[in-house]
């Protein structure tokens, strides 16, 4: 059997195990939107830990993060910084959202904002902003999966075919089991990729440089000096570095697919415990960055930074079955986010856009069917984006955090500020999103992350319009 066939056999077995676990996971939930989207609000601490951890650290972690460490040096440390801080807002927003969800039946972010502010048009707009951010994030996962299979099979499987194969499996178990399929496969995938990350992170510096210390001693001092370089190779300013960390930290907890897990938790205590334990998941990122540093100075270099991990594995001429296991670990990283993104976007499109926004009532079973049908166009749109957009994986993720961060002000206002109004939240969300998307095109050499000015405009608009509305009412 050829090396490529052995790799594909191992990958096929891994995909089959995920399909089995994901298919079986949905057997105990009710045939309703609450069962399909929120798991009947019964997720315990183990599932919540891996859902939050594995959902965020994905193909960008296993492929993009080593690629960023390889190409930018110390600039890659921003990934650990925003990861450690990112779930802190969820300690406050998650339990309150869960409480309101149990009392009022909320299962998505958009309907919570619209319901608490008493303004129906907010739901579909929140859903739209979330989906605009999710599509490139999901595309990132697909490209990551395709890259891995293409490189490790030496072109026998193309990027397009690899992405279609892996996400065909994801579609099947998400279609069948909803959030519980996401939860249990994330637990499997998260544990698997954490083990492989440490094996690779310790083995590769030793095999290529004689150890971690020797690896760092072989690098140039500027490669390990903050703030490092940008993906394009230029010097990264402290303003750019710091604003990127800030925007990604703020946006972290407000990803629709992650925020929805507040409605799936068994209790508020489970949510708080998850946030407290979550930074331990960052231990997974340390060996991931070591992999990228190990590749610095390779000859020949990888064709692009995001392929440094599979390029190293092929250069070392490891047994094909071992390469297949490492390939499966990278696919685990991709799938553990991709399934949650796909499920979250479809749930939001139906619940926030059709049911809450358009006021179209569906039966519990009918709503579940509608969410399943929404999976297909979102998957197709993301696949097209994955095969046509050519930014590096971390850059693609950083861009996506700009729009999703704009959800933070309206969600926070809906949860904690009684004077906030629906029109004010809508105004802020639209203005903030417009600034975030348009600013990079209007300002050459923008120093700060565009999401930061967007957040400032967003928050100011919510406060200003809410206070002005209150004065007029008085």
Name which of 222-231, 406-415, 453-462 the model is least confident about. Answer: 222-231
- The answer to whether 267 and 114 have CB atoms below 8 angstroms apart is no
pLDDT for 392 beyond 70: no
Q: Which pLDDT score, from 0 to 100, does residue 318 have?
A: 83
pTM for the predicted model, two decimal places: 0.85
**349 exposure class (CB count in 10 Å sphere: 0-12, 13-18, 19+):** buried
Buried b (16+ CB within 10 A) or exposed e, 104-139: eebbbbbbbbbbbbebeebbbbbbbbbbbbbbbbbb
Q: What average pLDDT does range 110-117 have in this prediction? A: 94
Q: Which of 111, 94, 33, 126 is nearest to 359 (CA)?
A: 111
Q: Which pLDDT score, from 0 to 100, does residue 371 have?
A: 92
Q: What average pLDDT does range 262-287 have in this prediction? A: 88
Question: How many Cβ atoms are within 10 Å of 430's Cβ, its own excluded?
Answer: 15
Mean pLDDT of the residues in the chain: 87
pLDDT for 58 beyond 60: yes
Q: What average pLDDT does range 388-398 have in this prediction? A: 64
pLDDT for 273 beyond 80: yes
pLDDT for 474 beyond 50: no
Q: What average pLDDT does range 155-178 have in this prediction? A: 92
Q: Which pLDDT score, from 0 to 100, does residue 129 have?
A: 85
**What are the domain boundaries of the chain?**
3-405
Give the Cα separation of 364 and 353 in Å (integer): 16
| Omega of the bond leading into 363 within 30 degrees of 0 (cis) | no
pLDDT for 321 beyond 70: yes
pLDDT band of 391, cuts 50, 70, 90: low
pLDDT for 29 beyond 50: yes
Task: Name, in order, each residue with C-beta under 8 angstroms of 298's C-beta and a sequence gap of 6 or more.
Answer: 208, 308, 311, 312, 315
Q: Which pLDDT score, from 0 to 100, does residue 398 have?
A: 64
Q: Which pLDDT score, from 0 to 100, does residue 109 have?
A: 93
Q: Which pLDDT score, from 0 to 100, does residue 395 have?
A: 62
pLDDT band of 342, cuts 50, 70, 90: very high
Q: Which pLDDT score, from 0 to 100, does residue 397 have?
A: 64
**183 exposure class (CB count in 10 Å sphere: 0-12, 13-18, 19+):** buried
Structure tokens at 118: 């008493």
Q: Residue 313, Cα to own-chain centre: how many angstroms?
A: 25
| Omega of the bond leading into 403 within 30 degrees of 0 (cis) | no
Q: Please tell us whether the domain made up of 3-405 is placed in CATH 2.40.110.20.
A: no
Percentage of the chain with pLDDT > 70? 95
Structure tokens at 435: 């600034």
pLDDT for 251 beyond 90: no
Give the Cα separation of 122 and 191 in Å (integer): 38
pLDDT for 56 beyond 60: yes
Name which of 90-94, 114-118, 374-378, 436-440 the model is least confident about. Answer: 436-440
Q: Which pLDDT score, from 0 to 100, does residue 36 have?
A: 86
- Residue 143 Cα distances to 167, 193, 258, 291, 378, angstroms: 11, 18, 21, 20, 15
Give the Cα separation of 399 and 385 in Å (integer): 14
- DSSP string spanning 14-66? HHHHHHHHHHHHGGGS-SSHHHHHHGGG-B-HHHHHHHHHHHHSSHIIIIIHH
Name which of 33-47, 97-111, 339-353 the model is least confident about. Answer: 33-47
pLDDT for 235 beyond 60: yes
Q: What average pLDDT does range 67-90 have in this prediction? A: 88
pLDDT band of 61, cuts 50, 70, 90: confident
Q: Which pLDDT score, from 0 to 100, does residue 258 have?
A: 87
Give the Cα separation of 152 and 154 in Å (integer): 5
């Amino acid at each position: 059997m050829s090396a490529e066939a052995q790799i594909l056999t191992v990958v096929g077995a891994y995909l089959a195990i995920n399909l089995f676990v994901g298919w079986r996971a949905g057997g105990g939930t009710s045939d309703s939107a609450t069962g399909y989207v929120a798991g009947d609000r019964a997720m315990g601490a183990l599932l919540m830990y891996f859902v939050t951890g594995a959902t965020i650290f994905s193909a960008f972690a296993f492929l993009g993060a080593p690629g960023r460490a390889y190409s930018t040096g110390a600039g890659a440390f921003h990934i650990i910084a925003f990861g450690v801080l990112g779930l802190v807002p969820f300690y406050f927003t998650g339990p309150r959202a869960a409480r309101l969800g149990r009392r009022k039946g909320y299962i998505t972010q958009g309907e919570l904002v619209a319901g608490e502010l008493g303004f129906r048009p907010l739901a579909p707009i929140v859903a739209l902003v979330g989906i605009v951010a999710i599509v490139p994030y999901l595309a990132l996962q697909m490209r990551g999966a395709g890259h891995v299979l293409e490189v490790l099979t030496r072109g026998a499987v193309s990027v397009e075919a690899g992405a279609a194969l892996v996400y065909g499996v994801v579609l099947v178990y998400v279609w069948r089991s909803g959030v519980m399929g996401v939860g249990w496969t994330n637990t499997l995938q998260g544990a698997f990729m954490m083990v492989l990350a440490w094996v690779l992170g310790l083995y590769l510096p030793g095999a290529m440089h004689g150890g971690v210390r020797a690896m760092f001693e072989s690098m140039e001092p500027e490669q390990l000096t903050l703030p490092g370089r940008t993906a394009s190779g230029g010097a990264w300013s402290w303003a750019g570095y710091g604003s990127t960390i800030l925007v990604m930290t703020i946006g972290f907890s407000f990803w629709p697919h992650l925020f929805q897990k507040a409605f799936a938790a068994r209790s508020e205590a489970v949510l708080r415990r998850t946030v407290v334990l979550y930074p331990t998941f960052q231990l997974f990122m340390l060996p991931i960055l070591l992999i990228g540093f190990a590749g610095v100075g390779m000859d020949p270099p990888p064709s692009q930074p995001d392929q440094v991990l599979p390029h190293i594995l092929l250069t070392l001429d490891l047994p094909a079955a071992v390469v297949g296991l490492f390939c499966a670990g990278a696919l685990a990283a991709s799938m553990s986010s991709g399934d949650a993104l796909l499920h979250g976007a479809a749930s939001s499109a139906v619940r926030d856009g059709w049911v809450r926004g358009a006021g179209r009532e569906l039966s519990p079973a009918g709503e579940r069917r509608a969410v399943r049908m929404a999976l297909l166009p979102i998957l197709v749109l993301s696949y097209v984006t994955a095969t046509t957009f050519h930014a590096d994986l971390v850059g693609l993720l950083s861009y996506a955090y700009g729009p999703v961060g704009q959800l933070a002000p309206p969600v926070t206002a809906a949860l904690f500020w009684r004077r906030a109004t629906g029109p004010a939240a809508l105004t802020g969300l639209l203005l903030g999103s417009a600034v975030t998307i348009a600013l990079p095109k209007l300002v050459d050499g923008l120093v700060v992350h565009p999401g930061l000015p967007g957040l400032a405009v967003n928050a100011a608009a919510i406060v200003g319009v809410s206070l002005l509305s209150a004065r007029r009412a008085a």
